[in-house]
Amino acid sequence: MTDKRTIRVDTLARVEGEGALDLHIQDGTVVQAQLRIFEPPRLFEALLRGRAYTEAPDITARICGICPIAYQMGAVHAMEYALGLKVDGPLRALRRLAYCGEWIESHALHVVMLHAPDFLGYPDAIQMARDHGPMLNRALALKKAGNEIIRVLGGREVHPVNIKLGGFYRVPSRSELKPLAAALDSALEHAIELLSWASTFPFPDFERDYEFVALRHPGEYPFNEGRIVSSAGVDLPVCDYESVFEERHAAHSTALRSVIKGRGGYLVGPLARYALNFDRLPEHIRSLARDAGLKPICRNPFKSLLVRAVELVYACDEALRLISCYEMPDRPAVEGLPRGAVGYGCTEAPRGICYHRYEIDADGTILGARIVPPTSQNQLSIEADLRQVASRSLHLPESELRALCEQTIRNYDPCISCSAHFLKLTVHRERVSHDSPC
Amino acid sequence: MTAPVERISLVVIGVGNPDRADDGIGPLVAARLGMLPGARIMSCNSDGFTLIEEWSGADIVVLIDAATTVSAPGRIHRIDLSSDELPCELGIASTHAFGIAEAVALARALDRLPRRLVIYAVEGVCFDYGADMTPEVAAAVDEVAGLVAAEAAGCLPNSMRTDAWRTDP
């Protein structure tokens, strides 16, 4: 007799994008977990072809309303690579500041509004607000602080328009950054309180031996620059990304799925970044992480919430440091001329590394583009987590198992809008007896 | 812990995405209003949660947003949340997961609703990227701006202090 069950959850809430999950269980084992992404492909790579090299940052910013900076930064770094441009000094610092803004707004939204309700037993943040109002207020203030950074540097909070190859269209004066610092002083306190609060959550006891992949920079916790490294020994310049990583198509998903050639799935995002760069965090942030119960390496995907909270503290702290050191540059951007070349860029979006490659011709027309967002890279890991989490939780009542599966997916803060670009979770449970005709 | 530090008498927020046809009615009305004495006028194309911070400290808040078509494109609804519920059938259009309805519910739970919150919802029909605004919706911009200005001046006729009054756009 074979016991075959299919569990169905039709709609996954609190994720960005549309998709579904099918979970097939046979004889007490999860035999298949398919993350089905059915949002139509958005074809950004195709629509970039034939456009000017200067247009890539503004076009790619439209891939995501939550993490447009990641796409803009990937695009400008890749194009600057192609042109042989180097951006440093205050312009580079402003780019890091923009990235801090994006991490603050994205992590605050996910940690408190989207993920915390799972751990505290509420259906959503609105229900949670009645009992945890002060934390919700802290999250709202953090989100506003992040938005303000993006507004000041990007011209507006959503799909910023002030970022260009070589720097910015306009750079802020020191006095324009001053109000940001005042808000960030409070934001830093909010973030530290959120981390302390999150450290009390009941985290499921679950670990998996991931291959972590992240950027690593000689002196910084990574945002914009670094080599691509992994916990299993990958150590590459960004231009060699495709020699080790490849995208594959699966019939059940409109998003391509990335693997390490010859090995399979891997993990990008907060857990990977933290494990591979713990020593790059300032000591006072490491100390806060330890106080929250985190070791230098964390393999529990549910505790990604805690790591995001650590990164939230770091982003506020780093933003304050960058603002305090800022001197307005002489010019808002360095200029460069196009040439026939291939450019590569990879930056740390809130959800993990985001890779860009562009081929341009001598007059700067884009001939080809490849963009690999973090959620595409994490699809196999999401499915593997689900198989294992579900396998050991089959004794749970249907509704609890379904909730746990959704929570497992939300560990990744999946931005399905970016990967193809929205998620419905569909888990199925069926019981079939081969001994019986019915 | 709550954020308010500065009292502002009136905040007017045009909500929506100017690049999505009729969804742009909110920002367009905000732009048309320009300046109003004693009021802060702004546009918001971010998620609904952002609204709570934006209206922090305000006594009266007026939101202008697009709604799905119930009867006719361009029809204007005035909803005063101190006396009315947000009607579900209007489906106040949001291009984000967290719209005005969620912002209002969260603000209520956090005791951060302004003393008075009025929503002007204009029925739209087209929310396509890059498309032009529907003529009937575009034709409502001046009227909504006039109504908001009257609201700001505290001289909105009592006859308009009800739900939808404009049935023939």
Q: Do B109 and A126 touch (CB under 8 A)?
A: yes
DSSP assignments along B29-91, one per residue? HHHHH---TTEEEEEE-S-HHHHHHHTTTEEEEEEEEEEE-SS-TT-EEEEETTT----GGG-
- Contact of A241 with A213, CB cutoff 8 Å: no
Judge whether A427 lies within some domain: no
A398 part of a folded domain: no
Whole-number percent of chain B with pLDDT over 70: 79
Q: With a cut of 90, say whether residue B14 has pLDDT above it.
A: yes
Parse chain B into domains and list their residue ranges.
Answer: 8-160
Q: Which residue has the tokens 């203030």?
A: A141
| Residues of chain A contacting residue B50, judged by C-beta atoms under 8 Å apart | 143-144, 147, 157
Across the interface, whether the CB atoms of B1 and A137 are under 8 A apart is answered yes
Count of CB atoms within 10 A of residue A394's CB?
15
Compute the C-alpha angle A33/A301/A198, nearest 5°: 135
Residue A104 inside a domain? The answer is yes
Confirm whether A231 is domain-assigned. Answer: yes
Is the CB of residue B73 less than 8 Å from the CB of residue B22? yes
- Cα A304 from Cα A301, distance rounded (Å): 5
Does residue B31 belong to the interface with chain A, where contact is any CB pair within 8 Å?
A: no
- Give pLDDT, residue B94: 44
At position B14, the amino acid (one-letter code) is: G
Determine contact, residues A161/B24, Cβ cutoff 8 Å. Answer: no
Q: Does A18 touch chain B (CB under 8 A)?
A: no
Average pLDDT over residues B70-79: 89
Q: Which residue has the higher pLDDT, A170 or B86?
A: A170
Q: What's the pLDDT score for residue B119?
A: 93
Q: Is B6 on the interface with A (CB under 8 A)?
A: no
ipTM: 0.79
Alpha-carbon distance of B32 to A325, in angstroms, equals: 40
Of A65, A113, A158, the CB nearest to B49: A113
Q: What is the CATH number of the domain that holds A292?
A: 1.10.645.10
B2 close to A (CB below 8 A): yes
Residue B136: predicted pLDDT: 95
Cα A364 to its chain centre, rounded Å, is 30
Convert the pLDDT of each residue in B107-123 to its tens digit. Answer: 999 999 999 999 999 99
A interface test, pick of B6, B17, B42, B47 with most A CB neighbours within 10 Å: B47
B8-160 under CATH 3.90.550.10, yes or no: no
Q: Which residues of A touch B100 (CB under 8 A)?
A: none
Burial bucket for residue A416 (CB in 10 Å: 0-12, 13-18, 19+): buried
Give the residue with greater pLDDT, A93 vs B54: A93
**pLDDT, position A313:** 98
- The mean per-residue pLDDT over the stretch B129-154 comes to 91
What domain count does chain A have?
1
HSE (side-chain half, CA atoms, 13 Å) at B26? 29
Listed in sequence order, the residues at least 6 apart from B8 whose beta carbon sits closer than 8 Å to its beta carbon are B39, B40, B57, B58, B59
Check B46 against A157: CB less than 8 A apart.
yes
DSSP A232: T
10-residue mean pLDDT profile of chain A (438 residues): values are 62 57 79 71 84 94 82 96 96 97 94 92 90 96 95 88 95 96 97 98 96 97 97 97 89 76 95 98 98 98 98 98 97 95 96 96 96 88 90 84 85 60 42 35
List Cα–Cα distances, B82 to A124, A385, B63, B103, B155, in angstroms: 24, 47, 14, 15, 18
Structural domain range at position A318: 44-375
Residue A205's pLDDT is what?
94
Q: Does A96 touch chain B (CB under 8 A)?
A: no
**CB distance from A65 to chain B under 8 Å?**
yes
Query: What's the mean pLDDT when you consider all of chain B?
Result: 81
pTM of the model: 0.87
Question: Do B30 and B64 form a contact (C-beta atoms < 8 A)?
Answer: yes
> Of A243, A209, A246, A215, whose CA–CA distance to A229 is shortest?
A215
Give Cα separations from A224 to A76, A211, A214, A355 (angstroms): 10, 21, 11, 11
Within a domain: A272: yes
φ/ψ of B118, rounded to 5, equals -115, 135
In a domain, A124, yes or no: yes
Quick check: B110 contacting A, CB < 8 Å?
Answer: yes
pLDDT the model gives residue A438: 30
User: At residue B4, does pLDDT exceed 50?
Assistant: no
pLDDT at A412 (0 to 100): 87
B-chain CB neighbours of A143 within 8 Å are: 49-50, 53
In this complex, is the C-beta atom of A413 within 8 Å of any C-beta atom belonging to chain B?
Answer: no
